[in-house]
Each structure stands twice: as structure tokens, then as C-alpha cells.
Structure 1
Amino acid sequence: MKTRLLVLLLGIVTTVPLAAADPVAPAALLNRGRYLVEGIGLCADCHSPRNEKGEFVTAHWLRGAPIGFTPAVPMPVWAPVAPPIAGLPSMTAEQAVKFLMEGKRPDGTMPRPPMPAYRLNEEDARAMVAYLKSLGDAPAVAAQP
């Protein structure tokens, strides 16, 4: 009887963590983040440099770049350079999630145009941050003009 009870308890204990585990596998989370960063947010349009033909320089993917366009009307707060976001070198993961959910930088200021103030849900923000963090930090390639 004690053996059966022990086996039953062990069976419950060993299956509970599996049932309670995060249903999103790391690969699925990274794939979703990549889809949101590259396919929906189109982050590379500003945060990746281009060559003389206008093609992305993939060796410097999301490592920062000069903004390739200017506003049609004068805008004194316009950001002429997009910072590197591969590895999210300027934010912790939690700061970046909050930034993508609330549209405010860690210091409470709004992003400078042309960066939109996103209002993502937490799941999408976490996926994007996981993908960007997975790219690792690298030196920025864009110098201030």
C-alpha cells in the first residue's frame, strides 16, 4: 500500500511541473519576436544601415543607422540616427517590455520621431524583446551626424 501511494505521489509530483510549464517554447517565442520585429514593426527600416544600392547591410542588422529620410516640415526633436537595438544595449529586458507596452523610455520621455510610441500587449512585447536580446550586443555602426 505504501509503495502504491508513493508511486502515485511521485507520478503527480513529476507531471505537475510539465503541466504548469510555459506553453511557449523558447524557439517559438524567438520566432514570434522575429516575425514582429522584421515583418510587422519593420524595425530594420530605421535601425539597420543600407549600402549605396539601398540594400540592408546584413552584417550590421539592427545595429543602428542614420535615418534615411527627413520630415516634410521642420521638426526640432527629429532623431537623425536610430540607435542599435540588437541585444538592446541601452535597456534591460523589463525596461524594453515596458517601453514597447507604454511607449515611454526608461527615463519617462517619449521616443523621438520617427520612432512611434508603441502600445503592444505584453505577450508581443516579450517576444520582441526575447528576439532582440538573442541578437547579442555589438558595437553601433551609426555615428552621430
Structure 2
Amino acid sequence: MKRVLLGLVSLAAIAAVVAWVLSAPQTLSETALANLQPGDAVRGEQVFWAGGCASCHAAPGAKGEDKLRLVGGVKLESPFGDFIAPNISMSAPDGLANWSLEQFANAMLKGTSPDGQNYFPAFPYTSYTRMELQDVADLFAFMKTLPAVDGKAPDHEVGFPFNIRRAVGLWKVLFLKEGPVIAEPLTSETDLAVWQRGRYLVEGAGHCGECHTPRNPVGGLELASWLSAAKAPVGNGTIPDITASEKGIGSWSVEDIAYYLESGFTPDYDSVGGEMVSVQENMAKLPASDREAIAVYLKNIPHK
């Protein structure tokens, strides 16, 4: 019996060490950062709108130019608690003024904070990890041109055990994946370069899957059901299917989708509503070619 207990204790100790190692916050390699060029703020503005930064990090209800004041404060409700978007303006006491590009890139692509902690995945780095590193540098350069706004956002409202940041590292092992979700289409009728651009925007910066894809009980995206509707984080609502299925937007043409992203009007002359309003306003600021690319991608991905 004593040997059995010692064996169990040894196994538990080994498991604890393995879990501690696996849960460690990850950072970009020196090789990945070696050829990074200084960011281009002009290009970075496009990345900013594609990434929806203002939707979460401007003050709640912000309109017009106030969307560029990234003081934070928006509450993101979830079954695991309420997460409050932080100040990401260039404020020295409360924002990112003292961050390096490397620290910003690690936050965006690895979900790791400057002080070496795991960010909660309410920050959609599980999508941003598919972004090009240079786009991240361009985004940071643009954000440096925006107003510095002092003011610390409230703390997250997350209880035990979901507030254990180290445990998020184990969640990352399972769900933080860099590769594309959808393989390239086999049909020769699709302009591959346009489709690839759409994939990059939808799966990466646009992080559309974070809302439109169902999640498992621990909050991981069910990638086999990519974009095929999801339960709203709270309440009984459903975030719609945006695949080209009959339940989704199968009756919409590429032109219909692109026009919706530009204007907010559906083919049936209904208008965008709810949280999608902010997303559509962001998409309207992109070049028409990007909206078309998103539409081409959505019309040419597998669906059930």
C-alpha cells in the first residue's frame, strides 16, 4: 500500500511539473523577429479597422473620432465571467506608451503580456495569431499616431478557477493554432489570390470565427463547424451562420455580401443590427477589394 501511495504521489508530482511547463507563457522567437521592418502607419490603419480594435477598446458607445480614443471599458460577457477591454491608447500610466514592438507582437500573436502572463482569450489572439508579423508592426505604428488617453479600465470580473492565468496556458496548448482553418478550394473558378486574401482577413485580423463559430464547454472553437452559427455568450440568442449554406447566406451573391459590409443593407433591404453594427462600420473603412475578398472566401468554404 505504501508503495502504491508513493507511486501515486510521484505521478502527481510529474503531472504537476509537466502542466507547469506546458502552461508557461510563450513568446516569439528571435528568428521570427530578426527581419521585422519598422511599421508603416498608413498600412497599419487598414489593419486597425480590419482587426476591429475600436469596437472593444474605444469607450462604450463611442462614435466618430472618439472611436480612436482607445481608453477601453467595454464589457465582454461570457459564461466564464465578464472581461473588460483595457486601455490600449498610448497613455504612459494606463496604456501602451511604454511597450516595445516585441511586447506588442507577443500580445497579439502569442497572447502573452509584457510581464510574462497569459492573457485571457476574450482577447482574440487565437485569431490574431494567424496575422503576418509585419501587419502587427504596421498596426502598432498606426496606434502610436492616435490620442493618448489616461484612465485605467476596471478589472475583469472573473471568479475562481477561471481567473487562474497560468491555467490559460494549458488552454492555449489545445486551442492556440497558427495555421489556417480552411484549406484552399479545389475549384478553378475561384480567384485563388482573392480567396486567400479573404481567408487572411476572416480567419486572422477580422476574427469572424470568434463570434460565428460554436464553442465547446471550455470555450475552444469547434473548427469542424467553422462559421456555422454559435450560441450567444449570454442569454438565449444565436449568432448567425455565415457559411454559404441554406441556413446561412447561401442565397447571397458575392456582390450582396460585399455591399452588406460596405452599407449595412442586406439583399432584402433589412439593415445591420446589434453588435454587428460596429463590425460593419469597421469593414466599410476597408478597400472595396478587401470586402470583395471576404465575400469570395465566405462563398467558397465548405459547409454542412
| Amino acid corresponding to residue 219 of structure 2 in structure 1 | G
Instruction: Map residues 43-54 of structure 1 onto 2, 5 A cutoff.
Output: 43-54=208-219
Aligned length: 106
Relative to structure 2, which stretch is displaced further, 42-51 or 117-126? Answer: 117-126
Alpha-carbon shift at residue 115 of structure 1 (Å): 1.0
Instruction: Map residues 48-87 of structure 1 onto 2, 5 A cutoff.
Output: 48-69=213-234, 80-87=237-244
Q: Which has the higher contact order (CA 8 A, sep 6+)?
A: 1
Tell me the distance in 2 between the aligned counterparts of 1:42 and 1:68: 16
Tell me the distance in 2 between the aligned counterparts of 1:42 and 1:64: 14
- Please give the TM-score of this superposition, normalised by the length of structure 2: 0.32
Which residue of the partner structure matches residue 125 of structure 1?
A: 291
Identical pairs, percent:
34
| Amino acid corresponding to residue 28 of structure 1 in structure 2 | A
Q: 1:48–1:64: 8 Å Cα contact kept in structure 2?
A: yes
- Please give the TM-score of this superposition, normalised by the length of structure 1: 0.65
Tell me the distance in 2 between the aligned counterparts of 1:111 and 1:56: 25
Q: Which runs of 5+ in 1 are unaligned?
A: 1-24, 71-78, 139-145
Which one of 276, 282, 293 corresponds to residue 115 of structure 1?
A: 276
Structure 1: 4+ residue segments shifted above 3 A: none
| Amino acid corresponding to residue 110 of structure 1 in structure 2 | S
Tell me the distance in 1 between the aligned counterparts of 2:234 and 2:275: 9
1:93 aligns with 2:240: no
Tell me the distance in 2 between the aligned counterparts of 1:122 and 1:26: 16
Q: Which runs of 5+ in 2 are unaligned?
A: 1-189
Structure-2 change in CA distance of 1:62 and 1:31 (3 Å): same
Q: 1:33–1:127: 8 Å Cα contact kept in structure 2?
A: yes
CA RMSD of aligned residues (A): 2.1
Which residue of the partner structure matches residue 14 of structure 1?
A: none
